[in-house]
C-alpha cells in the first residue's frame, strides 16, 4: 500500500505540475525579475562563505570504455586579512590527452556555472517561459535563457533553468557556458547543476556534472566532469573546518599542446 501511495503521490504531483495554470505575460515578467534578484542576493551572499571545491574530469577513449586522461583539483575558498583567496590543497599531475583547460574553463567553474542570471545581467539575455515541470517533486517554472550578444572578455550561460514556483528561486540549471572563442576549435560541454539550501535561506550550488562528447576534427572526445561545492560555512561563524595545506605544484615536461576545447 505504501508503494502504491508513493506512486499515486508522484503521479498526482506530476499532473499538478503539468496542469498548473500558466502565468500571464505580466506575471512571467515579474517572476523573471524576482528570480534574477534572488540570484544576485545568493551570489553576493556566497562571497561571505568559505567552502571547498572538488573538481574531477575523466577523458575517455572514443567508445567511452576506458579512461585515458584525468584532471583533478581540490581548493578551499577562504579569507585572509579580510580578503578572499583560493588555496589549492590537492592537485596531482593532470594527464588529459586531447583536451586543454583554458582560463575561461576555470572561470566558468568558479563563476558562470554557480549563478547563471543575476539582475545585473538580465538585460543581456533573452528569457522565454517554457512551462511547468517537477524537480524532486517540487513544481517549477521552466525558462530557456540565451545571451542577446557575445561581448569579448565576458562569459555567458545558454540553457534552461528551473525556478521553484513558490519561492521563485532557481533550483536547477542545464546548459553550457559561452563566450568569444579563444580558438576556432574551442568547445564547451553542457553542465547540469543542482542546489541545496544553506543556513535555511540561501540556495547555493552543491553539485555540477557534465557527461558529454566534444567533437573535434580529430574525432570525438567523451568526457565526464564533476564539481562538488562542499562544507559551506559563513566567514566568521564558528566552524570546525580544517583546511588542508597547499600542495607544491609538480613540474612537468612540456609537451605539444593538444586540440583546444
pLDDT at 246: 42
- Report the pLDDT value the prediction gives residue 72, as an integer from 0 to 100: 95
What is the total count of domains within the chain? 1
DSSP secondary structure, 80-138, as one string = ETTEEEEEEEE-PPP--SS----HHHHHIIIIITT----GGGGGGEEEEEEEEEEETTE
Q: Which domain holds residue 28?
A: 2-234
In a domain, 68, yes or no: yes
Is residue 195 within 8 Å of 171, Cβ to Cβ?
yes
Question: Smallest Cα–Cα separation from 35: which of 169, 140, 218?
Answer: 169
179 lies in a domain?
yes
**Cα–Cα distance measured from residue 147 to residue 175, given in angstroms and rounded to the nearest whole number:** 12
What's the DSSP call for residue 16? H
Residue-level pLDDT at 31:
97
239 in a structural domain? no
Q: What is the DSSP letter of 20?
A: S
Residue 7 placed within a domain = yes
Residue 249 inside a domain? The answer is: no
Residue 144 CA to residue 170 CA, distance in Å, equals 12
Q: What gap in Å lies between CA 211 and CA 217, rounded to an integer? A: 20
C-alpha cell, 249: 605544484
Give domain status of residue 257, yes or no. no
| pLDDT one digit per residue (tens) for the chain, 261 residues | 444 344 333 444 444 455 578 999 999 999 999 999 999 999 999 999 999 999 999 999 988 999 999 999 999 999 888 788 899 999 999 999 988 888 888 778 777 778 889 999 999 999 999 999 998 888 999 999 999 999 888 889 999 999 999 999 999 999 998 887 666 667 788 999 999 999 998 999 999 999 999 888 888 899 999 999 999 999 875 444 444 444 434 333 333 333 334
- Does any domain span residue 247? no
Residue 245 domain flag? no
The per-residue pLDDT for 100 is 82
Amino acid at each position: 500500500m505504501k508503494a502504491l501511495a508513493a506512486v499515486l503521490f508522484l503521479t498526482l504531483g506530476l499532473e499538478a505540475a503539468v496542469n498548473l495554470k500558466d502565468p500571464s505575460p505580466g506575471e512571467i515578467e515579474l517572476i523573471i525579475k524576482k528570480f534574477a534578484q534572488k540570484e544576485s542576493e545568493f551570489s553576493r551572499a556566497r562571497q561571505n562563505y568559505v567552502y571547498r571545491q572538488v573538481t574531477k574530469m575523466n577523458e575517455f577513449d572514443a567508445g567511452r570504455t576506458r579512461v585515458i586522461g584525468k584532471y583533478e583539483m581540490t581548493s578551499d575558498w577562504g579569507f585572509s586579512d579580510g580578503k578572499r583567496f583560493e588555496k589549492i590543497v590537492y592537485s596531482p599531475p593532470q594527464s588529459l590527452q586531447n583536451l586543454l583547460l583554458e582560463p575561461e574553463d576555470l572561470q566558468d567553474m568558479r563563476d558562470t556555472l554557480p549563478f547563471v542570471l543575476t539582475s545585473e545581467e538580465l538585460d543581456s539575455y533573452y528569457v522565454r517561459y517554457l512551462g511547468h515541470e517537477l524537480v524532486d517533486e517540487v513544481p517549477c517554472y521552466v525558462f530557456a535563457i540565451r545571451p542577446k550578444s557575445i561581448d569579448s572578455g565576458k562569459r555567458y550561460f545558454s540553457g534552461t533553468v528551473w525556478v521553484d514556483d513558490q519561492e521563485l528561486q532557481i533550483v536547477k540549471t542545464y546548459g553550457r557556458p559561452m563566450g568569444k572563442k579563444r580558438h576556432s576549435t574551442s568547445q564547451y560541454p553542457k553542465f547540469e547543476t543542482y542546489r541545496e539550501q544553506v543556513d535555511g535561506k540561501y540556495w547555493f550550488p552543491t553539485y555540477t556534472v557534465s557527461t558529454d562528447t566534444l567533437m573535434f576534427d580529430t574525432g570525438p572526445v567523451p568526457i565526464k566532469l564533476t564539481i562538488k561545492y562542499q562544507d559551506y560555512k559563513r566567514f566568521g561563524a564558528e566552524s570546525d573546518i580544517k583546511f588542508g595545506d597547499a600542495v607544491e605544484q609538480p613540474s612537468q615536461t612540456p609537451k605539444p599542446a593538444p586540440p583546444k576545447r
